[in-house]
Amino acid sequence: MGANLFLRVFAGLSLGFSVMAFAWRLRVFNRLARPVDRATPKGSLRSGLAYAYTLGMAPWAKESTRRHWLSYMRGVAFHLGIFLGLAVLVASPCLSSLSGTWKSMLALFVGLGAIFGLAGLAARFAEPNLRALSTIDDLFSVLLVSLFLGTEALWLLYPAALGLFYLASAAMLIYAPFSKIRHCIYFAYSRLFYGKYIGSRAILPHSQQKQVSGVSR
């Protein structure tokens, strides 16, 4: 078995391990008791959920993002790069026949994701508040994901880097379920709880009531 084939199998097994580990975490999480809201519902759950998953994630919805647009956009670009990078990883065995133009475009987008990730990592060192809040896991997680995206961009441009890409992918996938990267499965739940709360309490921002009502119908 060649080195690249071995690393491809290793990356595939790492992906399977990561999926199973995340599934186990979800199973444990779903068994936890939920807090009971004993207040009488006053509004619409659908409107609350619609707001939480749409306009509630807009940069103007929170003071922290309203005051830090560049950081918000950097984070969005980083996460879009991650989603694309994971899709490319899954499809990587079938991409050998892809044209050079398409590979260059994919490399550009995932490479930008890596750059934005490293920019966020640099900000954690440069900004005093972020530096005080950051843990070793925060730093290592961002670094691993950025390396995953960076090596993927390198492989798309230079096929000889395939082994390095699979090695970085495996390291990220194995570490993900035990790190802050696992927030990807809790994010949807946090928006769910938030949407149910503001919807049942009828406390959506007044400026969003009409727009969200149209979305939830």
Domain ranges of the chain: 3-26+60-180
Residue of 63, 32, 38 lying closest to 186 (CA atoms): 32
What confidence score (pLDDT) does residue 122 get? 93
User: Among the listed ranges 10-14, 67-71, 136-140, 165-169, which one has the minimum average pLDDT value?
Assistant: 67-71
Average pLDDT, rounded, for the chain: 86
| pLDDT of 136 above 70 | yes
Whole-model pTM over 0.85: no
